[in-house]
Every structure is written in C-alpha cells, then in structure tokens.
Amino acid sequence: MERSTTTESPRSASRQPISAEVQLRRSGELNFVVDAYDLSELGCRTEFVERPRLGEIVWVKFEGLAPIESTVRWVDGFVGGLEFNRPIHSGVLADLLARVRPSGKE
C-alpha cells in the first residue's frame, strides 16, 4: 500500500460513513462515476478507475455541489483518500450527509 510521506496523525475531523456515487475527474481527463465513502468536511475516501499519483490534484463532484478540488493523500489499489483543498462548510456537509445513504463499509 502506498501512503503519503507525511507523518500520520489523528484525523482533525470525524468521518461519516456514506455510500454515494460521485463524479471524479483527473486534470485533462473525462469524469468517471465512482463510489465515495467516509466523508468529512476535510475529505473523503473514493474508488478510482485509474490509479492516481500521491499528491495529484483531482476534482470530486457530489450531486448538487460544484466540483471540489482535492489532493490524493493515500492510495491502496484502486481506493484512495482525498483531502479537499478547501473544507466543505459544515452546513453544506450536513445537507450532503442528509442526502447520501449511510454505508456499512469500512
């Protein structure tokens, strides 16, 4: 498993288990529909169609929101962690969590 070179530390935001289809786009590429999990105002875990590089900038789009510029922080196969370059506002996060279904996945 490939992990970020930064020292791992406790998360600064609590993750909420979700299962949502999102659009994911790499720079200069087309959107892919993938599943997203473990959402917080600071980031989420997503599937990837093509394995990204650590530190790569991607855009994730949840239904009803503008695309969110994000940085790939870790990759394990075709699943990885994204850190949003700008946190989601707490009110927007609450609305988004109300619209996506909880997930039993880890």
| Model pLDDT for residues 37-72, shown as the tens digit of each residue | 999 999 999 999 999 999 999 999 999 999 999 999
% the chain with pLDDT above 70: 84
25 contact partners, CB below 8 Å, separation of at least 6: 31, 32, 58, 59, 61, 67
Distance (Å, whole) CA 36 – CA 63: 12
pTM of structure: 0.82
Q: 14-99 domain in CATH 3.40.30.10?
A: no
Query: Is the pLDDT assigned to residue 77 strictly greater than 50?
Result: yes
20 is written with which tokens? 């949502």
Distance (Å, whole) CA 87 – CA 83: 8
pLDDT at 100: 83
From residue 102, alpha-carbon distances to 4, 40, 88 in Å are 27, 13, 18
- Give the residue, 4 or 88, on which the prediction is more confident: 88
Domains in the chain: boundaries = 14-99
